[in-house]
Chain A
Amino acid sequence: MAKKPILGLFETADNAADAGDALKSAGVAPTDFDFLTDAPYPEGAFGEREENHRLYIFPFVGALIGLTVGIMLTSMTQMAYPLVQGGKPILSMPPMAVVTYESTMLTAIVFTIIGIIFESRLPAFKEGLYDTRITEGYIGVLVNVDEEQLTSTQTLLTQAGAIDVVRKDGGSGA
């Protein structure tokens, strides 16, 4: 059965963390709830699951591609029009190193950006439930549960100190 989202809004980090503990005790899988905030909290502040990522691979892949492109660009373009200048070799290493370095760094950075967006699971225009009060400082606890568990989850969030509980079907109330 498809799961339905329900969002509890909390004023303090302590209450949100309590809600997380209560959800775990109620048997909700850690992958089924998330904490939404308007600023980064210290890792583990809500007792949330550890997030693994592979961001560090992206700059290395980018750097390798940039290095290859840089070497090809600097060598092949010079070979295409082999004009000797000032007795310097056609494939002179110092200038090739400069341009290759820049292309390596450029693609490493571009790939890092792609990695950040990809690993952040963005763009995510149609995902989950959201409330604009989160960017006013409220902490959202977003839970995905089976439809029949919505009411019990709402009660659980309210008991943990939620000032409001929002449901996708329009149901709301603390």
Chain B
Amino acid sequence: MQEGKPLQSKQINRELLLTILNSPKWFFTTVSVLGIIVMVAMGAAGYMINQGFGVTGLNRPVMWGFFITNFVFWIGISHAGVMLSAILRLSKAEWRRPATRAAEILTVFSLMTAMTMPLIHTGRPWRTVYWIYTLPFVPYDYARGIWPNVRTPLVWDPSAVYTYLTSSILFVVVALIPDFAVLRDRTTGMSHRIYGLLAMGWQGNARQWKLQIIAGVLLSALILPVFVSVHSIVSWDFGMAVSVKSWHSTVFAPYFVVGAVHSGVSAVAFVLILLRYVYGWQNYIRHEHIDALARLLVVVATGWFYFLVMEILFGFYGREADEIAVRDYQFMVSPWNIWMMIFVGVTYFLPVAIWLSRSARRNLWIMSLACISVNIGMWLERFLIIVPGLARKQLLTFDWYTYTPSAVEWIIVGGTFAMVTMLMLVIARVVPLIPLYDIKEGEILRTEIKIGRVTVPAVFRED
């Protein structure tokens, strides 16, 4: 259904290129503040690398803490973009139009941010060149010709993440070509030359449009299996670890994938609400779009909750002593049990209760609250999988210890949120975050049909 008013091409160009052709007053101040936070975080990472892991709260047996939690969190956020874009393109959902570009770009930046976390976590980032799967012929140890061990999930992980990152960047760039042409036609000087180069001489003839439409569908179909593999493989970082009993769960791969979609789609909904508010895109990001995302989220959240219950149920049902000990720790020992209750409440019960109400789904403040709530919960979820699992009852563990993150870890993790926000703002100055041609196509296909005594808005759809 189409709720908005008809829009002309000139108006679409003017309103959606506003972020590029005219900088809002707050832009440089906001980006500068975020940049300072990112630099402080980089300074903290540099300090940690210089001083060693002693400045973090990581210690035996909890050697994975905030950094790996944050890595899984950002990988999860990245799953919104391409998944949302791909599924909605393949199903030709009309409400995809304003959401796809921002979602895809959020994917790229959250993946890039995610990959900084394990790099920092190694303590010696320069030793991780072999992770860059797109340079596969770089041996691990140059002198002795030792190659990465493909039998470990810690090598599968970067291969999947870099495949996803490369694919997502290419997906975004190809879909941007027609919009680069619009920018080429509306800029002068150096900007005109750069956009002209990026547009590659795009004219918008029938052949180019046909290929562009097929590209969207074909690339969606190719990226979807990669998207599923990425978080499955991230879950195997845990699921295939020999020593940590509570991570040995066959349900981890789908549980992680659905969880990633849950947090990612919530993040996209929140970004869309922000874009609508900040840039005044009420004509493009309408209540119907946020409403549709919320309805989708009810299904995703319930699917995720099902896997959560299964994971816990299988843990108890097996009655293995190590597993029960971890569950005891999660459910009975303070503060972990309090965090568990908060996590389940803010990830499922609170947001789903909100999304069940139509008026709440169409209230952008309440929707923002629900989306933030989900992401706080999903961050906690990863933390509650990693830390209690490592802290108690491991095979060959001679040391029982809990984990308290240090200031350095807080700063670095906080810096990643500033980094993604800053990158999103900066990219909004360079490319349109809502695809112009997609919106224009929606306007071309918009029509009205008369049914009985009412005239309803409708959309023509090609097979």
Report A's interface with B, CB cutoff 8 A.
13, 34-43, 46, 48-49, 51, 53, 55-56, 59, 69, 73-74, 77-78, 80-81, 83, 85-86, 88, 92, 95-96, 98-99, 101-103, 105-106, 108-110, 112-113, 116-117, 119-128, 130, 132, 134-137, 140, 142
Q: Which B residues form the contact surface with A (CB < 8 A)?
A: 8-10, 13, 133-134, 136-137, 139, 145-152, 155-156, 159-160, 163, 166-167, 170-171, 174, 177-178, 181-182, 185-186, 196, 200-215, 218-219, 222-223, 225-226, 229, 233, 242, 436-437, 440-441, 443-445, 460, 462
B177 touches A37 (CB 8 A): no
B147 to A, closest residue via Cβ: A77
A117 to B219, CA, bound (A): 13
Given contacts A37-B204, A99-B155, A120-B207, contact A81 B437 (CB under 8 A): no
Q: Are B200 and A41 in contact (CB under 8 A)?
A: no
Q: A119 contacts B182, CB within 8 Å?
A: no
Give Cα distance in the complex from A53 to B160, angstroms.
31
B85 CB → nearest A CB, Å: 14
In the complex, are the beta carbons of B200 and A124 less than 8 A apart? yes
Find B13's partner among A98, A106, A135 (CB 8 Å cutoff). A135
Residue contact B8 to A137, C-beta cutoff 8 Å: yes
A120 to B174: give the CA distance in the assembly, Å: 11
The answer to whether B136 and A101 touch across the interface, beta carbons within 8 angstroms, is no
Q: How far does the alpha carbon of A78 sit from the alpha carbon of B147 in the complex, in Å? A: 7
Which residues of B have CB within 8 Å of A119?
207, 211
Q: Given A77-B150, A109-B219, A120-B211 in contact, is the A35-B203 Cβ separation under 8 Å? A: no
B218 engages A41 (CB within 8 Å): no
Q: Which residues of B contact A127 (CB under 8 A)?
A: 201, 203
- Contact call B437/A102, Cβ cutoff below 8 A: no
- Check B201–A123 contact: CB distance below 8 A: yes
A99 touches B204 (CB 8 A): no
| Contacting residues, chain B, for A101 (C-beta < 8 A) | 229
Q: How far is the CA of A13 from the CA of B178 in the complex (A)?
A: 19
Q: How far is the CB of A39 from chain B (nearest CB, A)?
A: 4
Contact B160 A102 (CB under 8 A): yes
Q: Which residues of A contact B206 (CB under 8 A)?
A: 34-35, 41, 43, 46, 48-49, 51
A162 vs B163: C-alpha distance in the bound complex, in angstroms? Answer: 48
B10 — nearest CB in chain A belongs to which residue? Answer: A136
Are the C-beta atoms of B215 and A80 separated by less than 8 Å? no
Q: Does the CB pair B181–A105 fall under 8 Å?
A: no
A137 contacts across to B, CB distance below 8 A: 8-10, 440
Do A136 and B13 form a contact, CB below 8 Å, given A35-B205, A77-B147, A142-B205?
yes
Chain B residues with Cβ below 8 Å from A102 are 133, 156, 159-160, 163, 226, 229
Contact in complex: A81, B204 (CB < 8 Å):
no
